[in-house]
Chain A
């Protein structure tokens, strides 16, 4: 029996990924369970889901506390959520990250697989929904499930074009996945953020072009997070609280605000 825990953010499809994985295992005549964690599944908030694959008489129906594999759908999540919690010593981490496994800092020598799932999702789907891409990485890194079964499960989930582009995402991630050993460190230093910071909810960050900004304050009025200040009649964004919704970009009448990918900032 293998046990898998998936970490993602609301809207990235962690729960769908767990269902697809369970379906793929089922298609290989295995018994499988997909368990979403009950909690706040808000868009952007951390979400957990579980998959259990094995024989029928060994199945239990609990949450998974000591997984064999941990799959992380979001590139910044590992800075705020303890993703290695309970992971077995010979376990493996499958991370959405644009850096190779050798640059991932961990306390214990787990195996690590990385893939730039956000980049692949943006290329294939046009949206930062990383669930299907990370499944391709899971197949490549672990070999527990065949690529064909995952593709079949994806096709059953979405018909037509949506299915095709998701299959493309699976295949692209399968090709791009790298497996290796992480950098072992004594202590993982997280980013220091103020209380209640929502900085890690973003996939994109709004960047203000101060030359173009006319100081009309429309972004300041409409920002749901109240994280835009007017300094010398120009918009200045407090990135500690910006969730990256993009309302300011949509509402700016002169197009002075632009969305830039978070991963471009370097991890």
Chain B
């Protein structure tokens, strides 16, 4: 874990914030020659002032356009050794920012897009987003005996981006720092659109003790809820973390208050979906995906 410390102490993020861990590790990997862009969210409000690099922000919808403009502006001026990073949350990537993401990915702009996924609009108090998993309780999808939290599954964002045939797509977790940093260090040298989807547990929004941030992140990876993989140029798929046996999902879900209302049947459903997904991922591991 070498690299200069870029992010400074003293941010206003919550205790045990996953984004803070992600920001520190990511910017250590990017280094000083980096420009990053922001859309509204926890990163802008709490962390951006503690990242002493040039940054600029815009509305949710403009995230893709802003970062494309910066990279093209730098190219027009002949500056080629700058990392241009879009450091957005799941709202700016999966929901409101999706058309901008799709546009930038389709044009294969030379940017590195990091989606810090805390699976809801946490900055405004935790409203559901397209990245919120099924059955998760948020302020807009409350759980009662009639409504069981969010009714639909989350978007499969890395594969949506991979379908654009971009330079690099990866998933990462803050509990596996060497995997996360390694992916950034490999992909930042590539030309074209790079996308890294990082799960970043939110103690406040998910409802667990601030000390358990890494534990929750690790358990979701070990249970297969958050598989770690990368899709490199030419659509080669590779799992970067392959446990011999997955842990039961109950361990990871049990720590989170947003899943407290789950019945046995519902957690069985999550388990069988995770198992099915993991089987499919193992099948395509090391193979070339169709376009």
Chain A contact residues, CB within 8 Å of chain B: 10-11, 40-45, 194-198, 201, 217, 221-227, 238, 240-241, 243-247, 249-251
Asked if B213 CB lies within 8 Å of chain A CBs, one says yes
Asked if B184 CB lies within 8 Å of chain A CBs, one says no
Interface pairs (12), CB distance under 8 Å: A10-B14, A40-B12, A44-B14, A45-B12, A195-B10, A196-B11, A201-B15, A221-B25, A223-B21, A225-B11, A227-B9, A238-B9
A43 touches B203 (CB 8 A): yes
Query: Using a Cβ cutoff of 8 Å, how many contacts connect chains A and B?
Result: 88
Q: Interface 1/0s, chain B 28-68, versus A by CB < 8 A?
A: 00000000000000000110001000000000000000000
Asked if B7 CB lies within 8 Å of chain A CBs, one says yes
A246 touches B20 (CB 8 A): no
- Alpha-carbon distance between A244 and B212 when the two chains are bound, in angstroms: 12
B20 touches A225 (CB 8 A): yes
* A208 vs chain B, min Cβ distance (A): 15
Q: Interface 1/0s, chain B 256-267, versus A by CB < 8 A?
A: 000000000000
Given A41-B125, A43-B210, 16 more A-B residue pairs with CB atoms under 8 Å apart are A11-B15, A197-B10, A222-B21, A224-B13, A224-B17, A226-B8, A227-B9, A241-B10, A244-B15, A245-B15, A245-B203, A245-B210, A245-B211, A247-B211, A247-B214, A250-B214
In the complex, chain B residues whose CB is within 8 Å of the CB of A240: 9
In the complex, chain A residues whose CB is within 8 Å of the CB of B18: 224
In the complex, chain B residues whose CB is within 8 Å of the CB of A40: 12, 45
Query: 9 closest A-B pairs (Cβ-Cβ)?
Result: A196-B10, A246-B211, A224-B20, A245-B16, A241-B9, A245-B15, A245-B210, A43-B14, A250-B211
* A247 vs chain B, min Cβ distance (A): 6
In the complex, chain B residues whose CB is within 8 Å of the CB of A224: 13, 16-18, 20-21, 24, 213
Asked if B250 CB lies within 8 Å of chain A CBs, one says no
Instruction: Report which residue of A10, A196, A224, A244 has the largest number of chain B beta carbons within 10 angstroms of its beta carbon.
Output: A224
Asked if B1 CB lies within 8 Å of chain A CBs, one says yes
A221 touches B46 (CB 8 A): no
In the complex, chain A residues whose CB is within 8 Å of the CB of B13: 42, 224
Task: Given A222-B21, A224-B20, A224-B24, answer yes or no on A250-B212 (Cβ-Cβ < 8 Å).
Answer: yes
- Alpha-carbon distance between A247 and B218 when the two chains are bound, in angstroms: 13
B9 touches A196 (CB 8 A): yes
- Alpha-carbon distance between A247 and B212 when the two chains are bound, in angstroms: 6
A251 touches B15 (CB 8 A): no
B214 touches A251 (CB 8 A): yes
- Alpha-carbon distance between A241 and B209 when the two chains are bound, in angstroms: 19
B214 touches A225 (CB 8 A): no
Choose from A195, A226, A238, A246 the contact partner of B209 (Cβ within 8 Å): A246
Asked if B177 CB lies within 8 Å of chain A CBs, one says yes
In the complex, chain B residues whose CB is within 8 Å of the CB of A44: 14-15
In the complex, chain B residues whose CB is within 8 Å of the CB of A196: 8-11, 50
A43 touches B204 (CB 8 A): yes
Chain B contact residues, CB within 8 Å of chain A: 1, 5, 7-18, 20-21, 24-25, 45-46, 50, 125, 174, 177, 203-204, 209-215
- Alpha-carbon distance between A115 and B271 when the two chains are bound, in angstroms: 48
In the complex, chain A residues whose CB is within 8 Å of the CB of B1: 217, 221
| Nearest chain A residue, comparing its CB with the CB of B25 | A221
| Nearest chain A residue, comparing its CB with the CB of B22 | A224
- Alpha-carbon distance between A216 and B50 when the two chains are bound, in angstroms: 26
* A162 vs chain B, min Cβ distance (A): 13
B211 touches A249 (CB 8 A): yes
In the complex, chain B residues whose CB is within 8 Å of the CB of A245: 15-16, 203, 210-211, 213
In the complex, chain A residues whose CB is within 8 Å of the CB of B10: 194-198, 225, 241
* A229 vs chain B, min Cβ distance (A): 10
A247 touches B9 (CB 8 A): no
Instruction: Report which residue of A11, A223, A244, A245 has the largest number of chain B beta carbons within 10 angstroms of its beta carbon.
Output: A245
Choose from B7, B45, B46, B174 the contact partner of A226 (Cβ within 8 Å): B7
- Alpha-carbon distance between A251 and B213 when the two chains are bound, in angstroms: 10
B204 touches A42 (CB 8 A): yes
In the complex, chain B residues whose CB is within 8 Å of the CB of A226: 5, 7-9, 24
Instruction: Report which residue of A201, A223, A243 has the largest number of chain B beta carbons within 10 angstroms of its beta carbon.
Output: A243
In the complex, chain A residues whose CB is within 8 Å of the CB of B213: 224, 245, 247
In the complex, chain B residues whose CB is within 8 Å of the CB of A251: 214-215
- Alpha-carbon distance between A121 and B25 when the two chains are bound, in angstroms: 36
* B186 vs chain A, min Cβ distance (A): 19
- Alpha-carbon distance between A225 and B17 when the two chains are bound, in angstroms: 9
In the complex, chain A residues whose CB is within 8 Å of the CB of B17: 224
In the complex, chain B residues whose CB is within 8 Å of the CB of A194: 10
In the complex, chain A residues whose CB is within 8 Å of the CB of B16: 224, 243, 245-247
- Alpha-carbon distance between A225 and B15 when the two chains are bound, in angstroms: 9
In the complex, chain A residues whose CB is within 8 Å of the CB of B8: 196, 226
| Nearest chain B residue, comparing its CB with the CB of A195 | B10
* A215 vs chain B, min Cβ distance (A): 14
- Alpha-carbon distance between A224 and B125 when the two chains are bound, in angstroms: 21
